[in-house]
Amino acid sequence: MADRRQRLAWAVVFTSFISFAALVVLIPLSINAAIQNAVRPLAVRVQANEGTVGIQQSDNGTSALFAGAEPQELDAGGAILTNATDTALIQVFTPDEKQVVARIQVYGNTNVEMAEGSTPRFGVSSAENRLALDLSSGRLLVSVPSLGERPLNLHLTVPQGEITIQEPGQYSITTVNAESQFSVLEGQADVDGNEGSLVVVTDERVVLPAEGSRGGAAGAAGYGA
């Protein structure tokens, strides 16, 4: 009986020690994960340069933004729609609006949704600023400045594939009918299409058709900016 009680006591001590050790390890890891993953929205402003730009927010509220009017905020899940003669400018700022994260020129006949626009909530986080755009049709000219310690991860989705931009520079993307064309005017980007991944660098262009092989990277000279 004494041996059984002694074994039980040691089992309780051992189990308690294992539980304590697990908590010592898991609690800091959980806190660190929470700090790394916590985000807050970037400040996104839309300005109509020409014509009347349609704004559709994530709550399905719609509005018309006229040229010369005050810029309007766009939230995650919101979309911008332009007709043939309309143009707009999307400016993405840090939450305090002291630093520009990206500038995106929106041309005519464009339908683009902002799926995500976020930045880490805590300064100690090593995560990047994140911006995700879904271009159904039309044309965008994207300018990404150098952001120092916290760069931008810009994810562009088109019907024919996906584009990831993580370098400062200037990029042009056009989606018309069954084809998308992407040009790196300055910088570098990763393109994922029908036949896998391709790195596109300064002065190169890639064509993404709806079916069949993706066009290889070629010189972008003469591709409109």
Mean pLDDT score of the chain, rounded to an integer?
82
Q: Report the pLDDT value the prediction gives residue 13, as an integer from 0 to 100.
A: 61
Does the CA dihedral 182-152-77-87 come out positive or negative? Answer: negative
Confidence of residue 221 (pLDDT cuts 50, 70, 90): very low
Q: Report the pLDDT value the prediction gives residue 225, as an integer from 0 to 100.
A: 35
pLDDT digits (tens, 9 = 90+) for 88-102: 999 999 888 788 999
Q: Report the pLDDT value the prediction gives residue 17, as an integer from 0 to 100.
A: 62
Confidence of residue 54 (pLDDT cuts 50, 70, 90): very high
Q: Which residue has the higher pLDDT, 82 or 213?
A: 82
Average pLDDT over residues 178-202: 90
Q: Using CA atoms, how far apart are residues 200 and 175, in angstroms rounded to an integer?
A: 17
CA atoms within 13 A on the CB side of 185: 14
Q: Using CA atoms, how far apart are residues 67 and 201, in angstroms rounded to an integer?
A: 34
Long-range Cβ pairs for the range 161-169 (8 Å, 24+): 161/191, 161/192, 161/193, 161/194, 161/208, 161/214, 162/191, 162/192, 163/189, 163/190, 163/191, 163/192, 164/189, 164/190, 164/192, 165/189, 166/128, 166/190, 168/144, 169/143, 169/144, 169/202
* Closest residue by Cα to residue 90 from 54, 46, 55: 46
Checking if the pLDDT of 38 tops 90, the result is no
Checking if the pLDDT of 195 tops 60, the result is yes
Q: 3-state secondary structure string, 81-110?
A: ECCCCCEEEEEEECCCCCCEEEEEEECCCC
Q: Using CA atoms, how far apart are residues 66 and 68, in angstroms rounded to an integer?
A: 6
Domain ranges of the chain: 1-37, 40-219
**Domain 40-219, CATH 2.60.40.2310 — does that match?**
no
Question: Ramachandran region of residue 11, left (φ > 0), alpha (ψ -120 to 50) or beta?
Answer: alpha
DSSP annotation of 128: P
Q: Which residue has the tokens 């294992």?
A: 18
CA atoms within 13 A on the CB side of 37: 6
